[in-house]
């Protein structure tokens, strides 16, 4: 008899769906008021919040593709939340509309006079112009949505007939998705983030954003599963070894983030080129300097040393706490990456409102994607090796 048995026990996460929507609607309503009363500040805040949540969604698609290609017991537990997050890309495309409409309040290159004042900026006008930027943005979202849902469709077909050919096609899409996500996230980070300072450039920017997205997705899914570990429906499924694997992989992402971030800084410092150094000079002074120090200590050193300890990785409560630290610092890191382009440190009501607004709406649809299916994909051929027993269905 199979050790994987379907049950109708509820994980209880569906009860958070409506509260998330309420928080999201309130936050978004306040943000809309900000668009009317203080559009520049509200648009700046909205971009930061949006980019933070998008990292989780896009990173989930990338990690999902990676898992299908490499396999591994750790991925069986993460496939459902990763896939659910990736499929919310449609919602993120809709939530991107305010940025597209208000681009002139965010990006200096939308001002033609500003671009014509500098010879180097005039050379970039063929790339940095509103129409081409919108076309590229639309292309990114179409590709991401296509990949997320194509993998989902193939998974449903595999559930029906267990055909190895379907599994091979799914792996093929996932394998092709890896270079796709690298290229699209690289160009997206250039278009939506690096272009905030159109005179500045960095060859490390795209890979750092890619690693940041993967880290945000992994931290979110690790936290999500850590909250389910003590639920009766999941207590016999989630084991210390599973969380240890997640902790080890999160540690790898933390180290990769630190490596790429420091490499970018080192190359800029060593090159000492006048077009490059203003980016870091603005982030080394005043409150932004304190934020930089916080990123070094709390984004790297603290999770790095905590994730070296086996007892911390084995326990859902402690690994969940580390994941929260990483997520918080990912938001701070996103703020640090974009907000100094507009001047001195300033955190307003619009920042908090947009963070809750986008996040609440996204969480509502994330839970919606999980409802009505097993948290653990029981149809996979080697799922028993990963979970040993039990499968849980979320009751809507």
The per-residue pLDDT for range 143-160, each reduced to its tens digit, is 999 999 999 999 889 888
Residue 51 has pLDDT above 90, yes or no: yes
The whole-number average pLDDT for the span 368-375 is 81
Residues whose CB falls within 8 Å of the CB of residue 332, separated by 6 or more in sequence, listed in order: 291, 294, 295, 298, 299
Question: For residue 355, how many C-alpha atoms fall within 13 Å in the half-sphere facing its CB?
Answer: 16
C-alpha distances in angstroms, 139 versus 177, 180, 188, 362? 15, 12, 10, 21
How does pLDDT run across 202-243, given as a tens digit for each residue? Answer: 999 999 999 999 999 999 999 999 998 888 777 777 888 889
Residue 30 has pLDDT above 80, yes or no: yes
Model's pTM, two decimal places?
0.93
| Residue 76: band (very low, low, confident or very high) from pLDDT cuts 50, 70, 90 | confident
pLDDT value at position 167?
Answer: 87
How does pLDDT run across 160-194, given as a tens digit for each residue? Answer: 888 889 989 999 999 999 999 999 999 999 999 99
- Alpha helical stretches, state H, 71-129: 73-87, 89-95, 97-101, 112-116, 119-123
How many whole angstroms separate alpha carbon 29 and alpha carbon 45?
14
pLDDT value at position 158?
Answer: 87
The whole-number average pLDDT for the span 112-123 is 92
pLDDT value at position 377?
Answer: 67
How does pLDDT run across 233-283, given as a tens digit for each residue? Answer: 777 778 888 899 999 999 999 999 999 999 999 988 988 888 789 999 999
Average pLDDT value for the chain: 90
The domain segmentation of the chain, as residue ranges, is 13-387
Q: What is the DSSP string of 192-243?
A: HTGGGSTT---TTHHHHHHHHHHHHHHHHHHHHHHHHTTSTTTTTT--HHHH
How does pLDDT run across 285-329, given as a tens digit for each residue? Answer: 899 999 999 999 999 999 999 999 999 999 999 999 999 999 999
Residue 1 has pLDDT above 80, yes or no: no
């Amino acid at each position: 008899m199979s050790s994987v048995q379907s049950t109708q026990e509820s994980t209880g996460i569906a009860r958070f769906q409506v509260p998330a929507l309420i928080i999201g609607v309130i936050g978004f309503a306040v943000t809309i008021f900000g668009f009317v009363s203080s559009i520049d500040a509200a648009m700046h805040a909205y971009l930061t919040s949006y980019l933070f949540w998008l990292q989780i969604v896009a990173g989930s698609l990338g990690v999902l593709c990676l898992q299908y290609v490499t396999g591994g017991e750790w991925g069986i537990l993460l496939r459902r939340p990763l896939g659910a997050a990736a499929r919310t890309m449609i919602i993120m495309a809709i939530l991107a509309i305010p940025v597209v409409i208000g681009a002139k309040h965010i990006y200096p290159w939308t001002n033609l006079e500003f671009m014509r004042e500098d010879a180097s900026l005039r050379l970039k006008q063929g790339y940095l112009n509103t129409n081409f930027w919108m076309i590229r943005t639309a292309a990114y979202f179409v590709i991401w949505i296509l990949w997320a849902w194509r993998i989902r469709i193939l998974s449903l077909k595999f559930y029906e007939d267990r055909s190895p050919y379907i599994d091979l096609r799914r792996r093929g899409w996932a394998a092709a998705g890896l270079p796709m996500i690298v290229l699209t996230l690289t160009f997206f980070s250039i278009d939506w983030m690096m272009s905030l300072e159109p005179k500045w450039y960095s060859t490390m920017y795209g890979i750092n954003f890619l690693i940041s997205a993967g880290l945000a997705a992994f931290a979110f899914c690790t936290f999500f599963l850590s909250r389910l570990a003590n639920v009766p429906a999941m207590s016999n499924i989630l084991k210390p070894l599973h969380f240890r694997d997640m902790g080890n992989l999160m540690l790898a992402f933390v180290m990769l983030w630190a490596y790429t971030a420091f490499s970018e800084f080192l190359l800029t410092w060593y090159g000492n080129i006048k077009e490059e150094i203003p980016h870091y000079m603005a982030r080394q002074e005043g409150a932004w300097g304190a934020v930089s120090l916080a990123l070094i200590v709390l984004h790297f050193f603290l999770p790095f040393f905590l994730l070296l300890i086996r007892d911390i990785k084995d326990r859902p409560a402690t690994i969940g706490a580390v994941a929260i630290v990483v997520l918080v610092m990912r938001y701070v890191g996103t703020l640090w990456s974009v907000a100094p382009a507009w001047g001195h440190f300033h955190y307003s009501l619009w920042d908090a409102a947009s963070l809750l607004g986008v996040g609440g709406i996204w969480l509502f649809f994330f839970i919606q994607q999980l409802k009505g299916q097993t948290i653990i994909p029981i149809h996979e051929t080697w799922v028993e090796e990963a979970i040993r027993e039990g499968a849980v269905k979320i009751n809507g």
